[in-house]
Structure 1
Amino acid sequence: MTAAYIDKGNLEDPIPALKIAPRPQPTPKEGWVKVKMQAVALNYHDIFTMRGLGMRPPKFPLILGCEGTSVLEDGAEVLIYPVMGNPNFKGDETLDPERHVFSEQVDGTSAEYVNVPLRNAVLKPRELEMVSAGVLGIAWLTAYRMLFSKAGLKAGQTMLVQGSSGGLQARITTSISRFLKSSI
């Protein structure tokens, strides 16, 4: 399978470390599934990985990408939930000391096929296109947590978000708006 990967990080000049070439496709571990990627979001997190940075040192070589959408073998369309950690951890998983995302400790989503824990293959809402749903991992979850967990925003309230005029942010905003309309 073809993948975007790096063999090692380079703190000063990360871009030349990027390779796009065939990589072996391992057999999924117990509790994991093989998915066919459809859309993958580029995230600044990938630059951190390419620089060799993370909460823990990345385990190279690594396929990049921490979010995206895919199709299961049965044809179900799913989005990839990026957060993994200790399955026995209780409470807010962002506080799990073993927490990590794809492309830090395990291969990421920038490949034709990816092995993911079954719990991380979340059914994609029908109303979202595959490309729009591809940004719901890191970018959307960060915005959602900021607005609803940290700021305490409630249905019907409004918040001004400055500096979110880029193309990706517009797509995220559209995705958040569609989700909120369908769930409130």
Structure 2
Amino acid sequence: MPIMRAAFASRFDDADPLAALTVGDQPEPSLPDDDWVSLRVTASSLNHHDLWSLRGVGLRADQLPMILGCDAVGIDPDGNEVVVYPVVPTPGDPRGMSILSEHFPGTLAERVAVPRWNLLPLPAGLAATDAACLPTAWLTAWRMLTTKGRVAEAEAVLVQGAGGGVATAAVALAAAMGKRVYATSRDAAKRERIAGLGATAVEPGARLPERVDVVIETVGAATFDHSLKSAAAGARIVVSGATAGHEPKVNLRRVFAMQLEILGTSMGTPADLADLLAFCAERDVRPVVDSVVPFSRVEEAFARLHSGDVFGKVVVDHTA
């Protein structure tokens, strides 16, 4: 069986997830059926999902070793440069689907196997290391703004906890759409960088100059009351994460009096990803990249993400 280099979870360690990371040889991915193809990976990016996997969230011990990584750009069997949509059909999963690295080997390897219909052409002018940032975090932000948030009807947007992958993507995308964007962060240095993306950066809980039409909420209990108070009548509060608590107190009188919509979402569809790729190519929007690390030093990429100091995406260049 052909062997390849990969970054994988070899065990679980909730206290020190980096200790559960192994970089070494693994079998090249098998193809479950004729509709799947094997790609040579040229670029990938990390998500907090990878750290959660190392902690044992969403994986069982009998699934180890599991190659990590959701996002990738690669070369298909016909020599085309393609972007990988990371959600794959998964019989036996209660959702009927999963993202790469949950049931099927992920993208932090020399090769990855995916269904052929999960491949989208890499637009001209968009670098592989940029496009590799888009399929998970940026796709989630895109769907939050467009499909769920109906941002086309909005003038002002609040993004809570900017600095992480999804929130930073939402700031950049909303600004590129011409919206007035407010963004919160506890970190003064990150607020300065957020302002450079076109947002008005404020401390968490700060009173805004106006109420907004769309709130992007990935923080949870720590910011949810501020999200409610900052929402204009009829606003959409779109939730895709709860990094600081998943059980906020909700003032229901405000919800019904202001006719607010609280909407949940995750990821997006292949059509959403195609729209996002086209938007970035046509509007010259590029992902916010914290750092690009060669695959030979992929452990450093994980350490950077785990540090909590990242601003934007950590990218792995598989050609370096």
Aligned with residue 115 of structure 2, among 112, 117, 134? 117
Q: Secondary structure, in 3 states, of the residue corresponding to 2:78? A: coil
CA contact (8 A) 2:29 2:105 kept: no
Aligned with residue 71 of structure 1, among 75, 79, 84? 75
Percent identity (aligned): 36
Alpha-carbon distance, 1:137 to partner? 1.0
Change over 3 Å in CA distance of 1:14–1:73 after alignment to 2: same
What is residue 39 of structure 1 aligned with on the other side? 43
| 1:78-117 alignment runs, 5 A limit | 78-85=82-89, 97-117=95-115
CA contact (8 A) 2:90 2:98 kept: no
Change over 3 Å in CA distance of 1:75–1:155 after alignment to 2: farther
Could you list the per-position Cα deviations for residues 80-121 of structure 1 after superposition, in whole angstroms to 9, with x for gaps in the alignment? 11112358xxxxxxxx72221011111100001111111212
4+ residue runs of structure 1 moved beyond 4 angstroms?
Answer: 155-158, 165-168
Moved more, 98-107 or 118-127: 118-127
What is residue 92 of structure 1 aligned with on the other side? none
Alpha-carbon distance, 1:155 to partner? 7.7
- Larger Rg computed on CA atoms: 2
What is residue 142 of structure 2 aligned with on the other side? 144
Aligned with residue 19 of structure 2, among 16, 24, 27? 16
| Long gaps (5+) in structure 1 | 88-95
In the superposition, the TM-score normalised over structure 1's length comes to 0.80
| 1:164-183 alignment runs, 5 A limit | 164-165=162-163, 169=168, 173=172, 177=176, 179-180=278-279, 182=282
In the superposition, the TM-score normalised over structure 2's length comes to 0.48
| Long gaps (5+) in structure 2 | 177-276, 284-320
Matched residue pairs, number?
173
Greater share of strand: 2
Aligned-CA RMSD value: 2.9
Q: Relative contact order: is structure 1 or structure 2 higher (C-alpha 8 Å, sep ≥ 6)?
A: 1
